[in-house]
Structure 1
Amino acid sequence: MSLAQLLQWNLSLFLLILTRWAGMIMLAPVFAARGVPSLVRLGLAAGITIVLYPLIAATNPSIPSELLPYVAVVIKETLVGLVIGYIIYTMTAILQGAGQLIDFQMGFTMGAAIDPVYGVQSPMMGNFQIVLATMLLLATNSHHYLIAAMVKSYAYIPLNPSNLPANYLFYAQLIAQVFALSIQLAMPIFGALLVSDVGVGLLTRTVPQLNIFSVIFPVKIVFGFVILFLSLPFWGESVVKLFNTNMSWLLQLYQGWKQ
C-alpha cells in the first residue's frame, strides 16, 4: 500500500467514525441540548473519534476505495448514529409525555413553554422534569454510560453494516412502551387530580348552589404542586429505572441489528 493509499484509508476511516458519533450527538439527551453550540458538539464528536480511532483501526475494517460506495457507507453510518440517538432520545419523549398529561390535568395546557434544552414548545411540567432529569444524569456521570454504550455499538454493528435491524416489531413495541411509561410516570399526580375532579363533581351535584368552579382551578394547581413536592424523594429512583430501561432498549437494538 502506497503512502497516498494509506493516508486515504485513514482519513476515510476517521470520517466514518465521525459520522456515526455526529448522528448520535444530534439526537441524544444532554449532547443535543439547544444551549450546546454546534461547534462544541462537532468538537465533542471529533474528540471522541480521535480517542476511538486506534481501537477501530486495529480491527482493520474494510473500506470502499471508490467514491459512490464510500458515500453509501457514510450515509449508512450516519443512519446508524441517528437510530442509536433516537433510541436514547426516547427517555426525553417519556418525560415530555408524562408532563403533557400532568399539564392537562392541572390546567397548564394553554401555557406550554419553550423547552430550553431542545428549543421546541413543550409542556411546562415536562420541561421541568427534563431539566431535573438532565441535572441528575450529569450529577451521577450517567452520560459516561451513554458514551460507553455508543462505543459498544461497534461490537454489534461494524462499520459499513450489511443489513438493517432484523426485528421491525421492536420499534412498534418501543412506541407502545414509551406511552406506557409516560402514563406510569404521570399517574401519581394525574391520578390524584382525577380523583379530586370526581370529588368536585359529586360535591357540585350534591350542592348545586355552591359555585365550586370559581375556586377549583387554583386549588387544583396548588394540590398538583403539593403532590409533585411529595413525590420528589422518589424521582431519582424513577429516573434511574428509566435510564436502565433505555439502556436495555439500546442493547435490544444492537442484538437485533446483529441478527
Structure 2
Amino acid sequence: MESYATAQQVFAAGLVFARLGAIIMLIPGLGETFIPARIRLSFALALALMLFPVLGATAPPIPASAGALAGEVIRELLIGLMIGAILRIFMLSLATAGEIVSLGTTLSFAQTANPMQAQPTPTLSTFLGMLGIVLILTTDLHHMFLAALVRSYAIFPFGREVPVGDAGQLAIQTTSRAFALGLQLAAPVVVLSLIVNVAVGLVGRVMPTFQVFFIASPLLVLLGLSVFAVSLGVIGMVWVDRYRELIGMFLGS
C-alpha cells in the first residue's frame, strides 16, 4: 500500500468510511432495506474516497495499540449510527399518520408488504412511507443529508467522546416530535371520524332498529379517503418543512 497511500492516509480514510458507512446504512432514501447492503456500502466507500482529501487532514495519528485502533473505529461507528438513527426516527411521523388514518377509516386490517420495513403494515402507512422517500428525492433533501455528513465532522470531530447522554435526549425529543407530527398530519381524518361516529351514535339512539353499521362503514371509508386525498398535498409540504428543520439542526442553520 505504501506505493499508493501511506499508512496514515489509509487509517484516516478508514475512519471516514466507518462514520459515513454507518450513516448511509440508516438514512432515509439512500439507506432503505430494499437496497442491497453491498450497494449502500459501495456508495459509502465512494463517498468516503471523495471526502477524504477534505476530512483526512483532521484525522488523529495511528494509535500505538490494536485496542486503541478499535476504539477509534467504534467511536466513528457510534457517531454515524447516532446521526443516521435520528434521521431515520423522524420517518415514524409518516408511519404514525398512516396508522391513525387507517384506524379512523376502519382500514387498519388492510395490510401491504412494506419494502422499507420488510414486514406487512397498513396500506396507508406503506403509501405515506413511499411518499416520504419520493419527497426526499424530489425536493433535494438528500443533498442536505450529504451536507450534514460533512458538517458532522465539525460538530463531532475525530477523537471526541461520543455524547451518549445528548444523543439519547435528542432521540427521545425526535421520537416525541415525530409522533406529535403524525397526529397533526392525520388530524383532518381524525376530526371527520369523530364527527361521523358521533352522528352514527345519535342515529343509533334515535332509531334502534336501523342498521347503522351497514351505512356508516362504507360512508366512513369513502369520506375518510376523500379527506385524506384532499389533504395529501398539505401533508407532504408540512412534513418536508419539518424534516428540513431537523436537518438544519445538524447544519447549524
TM-score, normalising length from structure 1?
0.88
Unaligned runs of 5+ in 1: 253-259
3-state DSSP class of the match of 1:130?
helix
1:172 lines up with 2:175 in the alignment: no
Task: Give the 3 Å change call, closer, same or farther, for CA 176–249 of structure 1 in structure 2.
Answer: farther
In 2, Cα distance between equivalents of 1:173 and 1:105: 26
Deviation at 1:200, TM superposition (A): 0.9
3-state DSSP class of the match of 2:210?
coil
- Equivalent in the alignment of 2:130: 131
Give the aligned length: 249
In 1, Cα distance between equivalents of 2:116 and 2:219: 30
> Do 2:111 and 2:123's aligned partners in 1 also have CA atoms closer than 8 Å?
yes
- Equivalent in the alignment of 1:191: 191
- Equivalent in the alignment of 1:10: 9
Task: Give the 3 Å change call, closer, same or farther, for CA 245–26 of structure 1 in structure 2.
Answer: same
3-state DSSP class of the match of 2:28?
coil
Greater fraction of residues in helix: 1
Deviation at 1:218, TM superposition (A): 1.9
> Do 2:75 and 2:161's aligned partners in 1 also have CA atoms closer than 8 Å?
no
1:48 lines up with 2:65 in the alignment: no
Deviation at 1:59, TM superposition (A): 2.7
- Equivalent in the alignment of 1:29: 28
3-state DSSP class of the match of 1:121?
strand
Deviation at 1:113, TM superposition (A): 2.0
Q: What is the one-letter code of the residue matched to 1:29?
A: P
In 1, Cα distance between equivalents of 2:248 and 2:208: 53
Deviation at 1:170, TM superposition (A): 3.3
After the TM superposition, which of the residue ranges 196-205 and 230-239 deviates more from structure 2? 230-239
- Equivalent in the alignment of 1:202: 202
3-state DSSP class of the match of 1:55?
helix
Matches within 5 A, 1:1-259: 7-165=6-164, 167=166, 168-250=168-250
> Do 2:79 and 2:162's aligned partners in 1 also have CA atoms closer than 8 Å?
no
Deviation at 1:251, TM superposition (A): 5.5
Deviation at 1:220, TM superposition (A): 1.3
Q: What is the one-letter code of the residue matched to 2:74?
A: I
> Do 2:18 and 2:73's aligned partners in 1 also have CA atoms closer than 8 Å?
yes
> Do 1:90 and 1:246's aligned partners in 2 also have CA atoms closer than 8 Å?
no
3-state DSSP class of the match of 1:122?
strand
Task: Give deviations 1:40-68, integer Å, cap 9, x for gaps.
Answer: 10111001101100111233534423211
Deviation at 1:165, TM superposition (A): 4.4
Task: Give deviations 1:200-257, integer Å, cap 9, x for gaps.
Answer: 11111111121010232222111111001211232332122221232145468xxxxx
3-state DSSP class of the match of 1:101?
helix
Q: What is the one-letter code of the residue matched to 2:183?
A: I
Task: Give deviations 1:172-208, integer Å, cap 9, x for gaps.
Answer: 3333222211111111112211221111111111111
Q: What is the one-letter code of the residue matched to 1:161?
A: R
Q: What is the one-letter code of the residue matched to 2:102?
A: D
Deviation at 1:30, TM superposition (A): 0.6
After the TM superposition, which of the residue ranges 30-39 and 232-241 deviates more from structure 2? 232-241
Unaligned runs of 5+ in 2: none
After the TM superposition, which of the residue ranges 161-170 and 134-143 deviates more from structure 2? 161-170
Q: What is the one-letter code of the residue matched to 1:213?
A: F
